[in-house]
Amino acid sequence: MAGSVWPEVYRKLGVAPVINAQSWVTALGGSIMRPEVLRAMEEAANAFVDIKLLNRAAGEVVARTCEAEQGLITAGCSAAQVLMVAACMTGQSEANVEQLPDTTGMKNEVVLFKGQRNRYDKAFVTAGARLVEYGSIDSVTPEELDAAINENTACVAFVIAPFLPQGIGLEETVRVAHARGVPVIVDAAAEVPPRANLSKFHRIGADMVAFSGGKGIGGPQSTGLLAGKADLIEAAVMNSLNLDSSHAAIGRPMKVSKENIVGLVTAIQLFTDSDEAAEWQGWQSKAKYLADRLKGIQGVRIAIEDDPSQRQGPQPVLRFDDNYDGPTIAEIVTQLKAGDPAIYVGGGGSRAEINLVMVNVQDGEEIVIADRLEDILRGE
């Protein structure tokens, strides 16, 4: 679709749509909302409502969906990260909520495995906390986590992402933290689908878990889901809009509009009702089409990989042998981006591969991708 249609709203701004074979990435717009989601948002836009009541009701949907005690819709997973830490620091003290980001008198340390430092972790300190790392990038023990916890620890953070190591694992992290009376918060932004993950980390014992609403769930790009223990989510609510107080809370710049709340609720319902197997099959057949088209290029190996801990859906992965003498990975990526339409793929960086992520490739775009890669790799 992106390949053939240039929506007028983008044309007026001179910004051309791109083909997204890079996954649910923020930089390309997250996901494409279904028509039902857009219709729900349009309906929501036509009336005023009490936002507090609306987000309470939506929070119940989130809680049910995640099988958690309580839920809240946030302005993205990053906003949920800010609110989780704020909640652990303030508890339900109105005075503490008003005092942030000054954390004087509050526990203000967030403990995180060094190997899970990542470009989203600024959100853990936005509310005034400070990060305390434990372990080294490639070795870590439960004892090191235990030693990093002290009387100033507000929470232990755990990040689940395909590009990050799991360290001692969530289960062991929960065991050590809870033995010290410290809550565990989880950033699992892009871990759905599979939808089983919506409740999985709560069952393992995490106290609060955050997901993006605008990645695999297909809600508005600037939404997120936060769910967990009732007392902590209540504290997160106080730190969000704090509509009952005359003081704005730390979360005021991260408000969620009525349209976005309704859009995400609708997307969640569609997501939990969707036929996951059929969706997977659709990605698989696009992946197979590409793998077939790109077979037999000198020095290029292509395989479809779908290990869920490494890959978002089945995807053709291209690797290059010593006898390959075409353009480098960086050159291929650049040429794909320079074409019309621009094609964005995964890879380069630390992985010596190009991966073609199918989850956001619209019907027919796999043909455009194959044509262009054949041009570049076969020199046709």
The footprint of ligand PLP on this chain (CB under 6 A) covers a number of residues equal to 13
Contacts (CB under 6 A) with ligand PLP, residues 255-314: none
Would you say 356 and 315 are in contact if contact means Cβ atoms under 8 Å apart? yes
Q: How far is the CB of 296 from ligand PLP (least distance, A)?
A: 35
The Cα–Cα gap between 105 and 125 comes to 16
User: Does 76 interact with ligand PLP (rule: CB under 6 A)?
Assistant: yes
Q: What is the DSSP letter of 136?
A: B
Nearest to 319 by CA among 297, 286, 290: 297
Instruction: Specify the residue, 120 or 324, whose C-beta has the smaller distance to ligand PLP.
Output: 120
Contacts (CB under 6 A) with ligand PLP, residues 198-217: 212, 214
The Cα–Cα gap between 365 and 361 comes to 6
The Cα–Cα gap between 22 and 374 comes to 18
Nearest to 107 by CA among 168, 177, 174: 177
Q: Which residue is nearest to ligand PLP (CB)?
A: 76
Instruction: Specify the residue, 271 or 320, whose C-beta has the smaller distance to ligand PLP.
Output: 271
Q: What is the DSSP letter of 361?
A: P
Q: What is the DSSP letter of 27?
A: G
Instruction: Specify the residue, 117 or 293, whose C-beta has the smaller distance to ligand PLP.
Output: 117
State which of residues 115, 128, 216, 224 lies at the interface with ligand PLP (CB under 6 A).
Answer: 224
Instruction: Specify the residue, 154 or 188, whose C-beta has the smaller distance to ligand PLP.
Output: 188
Tokens linked to 187: 């950033």
What sign for the dihedral angle of Cα 250, 186, 72, 244? negative
Phi, psi (5° rounding) for residue 375? -55, -50
Binding-site string for ligand PLP from residue 13 to residue 52, where x marks contact by CB under 6 A and - marks none: -------------x--------------------------
Q: How far is the CB of 255 from ligand PLP (least distance, A)?
A: 14
The Cα–Cα gap between 101 and 248 comes to 12
Q: How far is the CB of 260 from ligand PLP (least distance, A)?
A: 12
User: Does 220 interact with ligand PLP (rule: CB under 6 A)?
Assistant: no
Instruction: Specify the residue, 209 or 361, whose C-beta has the smaller distance to ligand PLP.
Output: 209
Choices 2-10, 72-80, 136-144, 248-256 (CB under 6 A): range interacting with ligand PLP: 72-80
Binding-site string for ligand PLP from residue 162 to residue 201, where x marks contact by CB under 6 A and - marks none: -------------------------x-xx-----------
Would you say 264 and 58 are in contact if contact means Cβ atoms under 8 Å apart? yes
Choices 75-83, 132-140, 169-177, 326-334 (CB under 6 A): range interacting with ligand PLP: 75-83
Q: How far is the CB of 54 from ligand PLP (least distance, A)?
A: 20
| Burial zone of 355 (CB within 10 Å; 0-12 exposed, 13-18 middle, 19+ buried) | buried
Q: What strand order describes the sheet that includes 184-187?
A: 70-74, 224-228, 208-212, 184-187, 153-159, 109-113, 130-134
Nearest to 1 by CA among 363, 304, 246, 380: 363
Contacts (CB under 6 A) with ligand PLP, residues 118-157: 120
Instruction: Specify the residue, 83 or 290, whose C-beta has the smaller distance to ligand PLP.
Output: 83
Q: How far is the CB of 87 from ligand PLP (least distance, A)?
A: 17
State which of residues 161, 270, 304, 376 lies at the interface with ligand PLP (CB under 6 A).
Answer: 161
Binding residues vs ligand PLP (CB under 6 A):
26, 76-78, 120, 159, 161, 187, 189-190, 212, 214, 224
